[in-house]
Homo-oligomer: A and B are copies of this chain.
Amino acid sequence: MTRAQLSSQTVTRIPSDQLYLDDLHVGQRFTSGSHRIDEAQIKAFAFQFDPQPFHTDKQAAERTFFKGLAASGWHTAAITMRLNVESGPQLAGGIVGAGGELSWPAPTRPGDVLHVESEVVKVTPSRSRPDRGTIVLLSRTINQRGDVVQIQKARLVVSRRVAA
């Protein structure tokens, strides 16, 4: 049974699994699939975007703040995005970020298997634009030991259902 059939609001709605602002509520949760990161991925990303020894050189990394090879935080953020795009909230119009907050409480290491647990923490219809609104999505990126490697509060632009 589709979302449209479950709803009594309208029969003109196109059946779809895509989520509009109107379908979202505070407390709604999503769990992504997982991604295994390895040393080659960590180095490839780092050579392109964050060429620092703790991300590119296993031996040199031992003598740094990280005490071993660690993924660039931007790599963890990019993997988090990929997981949310593929298996997080399927928002109508896609996942469009306006900004947010980000922290990396623990490093991502070679061999880590990451998944993302997300929760809607705010839903705000636009006052000026009846076709859209914003949500705040809190996403925690978690490794196979249960360590949280990234906490993100993302402000996303989300479409509203518009009457046919």
Copies in the complex: 2
Stretch at the interface among A3-11, A73-81, A119-127: A73-81
Question: Which of A74, A85, A104, A155 has the largest number of chain B CB atoms within 10 A?
Answer: A74
Stretch at the interface among A16-24, A89-97, A139-147: A89-97
User: Which residues between 64 and 103 of chain A lie within 8 Å of chain B, taking CB atoms?
Assistant: 64-66, 72-74, 77-79, 81-82, 85-86, 93-103
Do A82 and B51 contact each other (CB < 8 Å), given the known contacts A99-B103, A101-B99, A103-B98? yes
Q: Indicate which residue in B54, B66, B72 contacts A81 across the interface (CB closer than 8 Å).
A: B72
Contacts of A85 in B (CB 8 A): 50-52
Contacts of A73 in B (CB 8 A): 97
Name the CB-closest residue of B to A70. Answer: B96
Name the CB-closest residue of B to A150. Answer: B99
Q: What 0/1 readout, one digit per residue, does chain A (138-164) give for beta carbons within 8 Å of chain B?
A: 000000000000010001010000000
Contact indicator A104/B97 (Cβ below 8 Å): yes
Residues on A facing B (Cβ under 8 Å)? 45, 48-54, 64-66, 72-74, 77-79, 81-82, 85-86, 93-104, 151, 155, 157
By Cβ-Cβ distance, the 3 closest A-B pairs, closest first, are A99-B103, A49-B78, A52-B94
Q: Can you name 17 A-B residue pairings with CB atoms under 8 Å? A: A48-B78, A50-B78, A51-B86, A52-B94, A64-B93, A64-B94, A65-B157, A72-B78, A72-B81, A74-B74, A77-B77, A78-B78, A99-B102, A99-B151, A100-B101, A100-B102, A101-B101
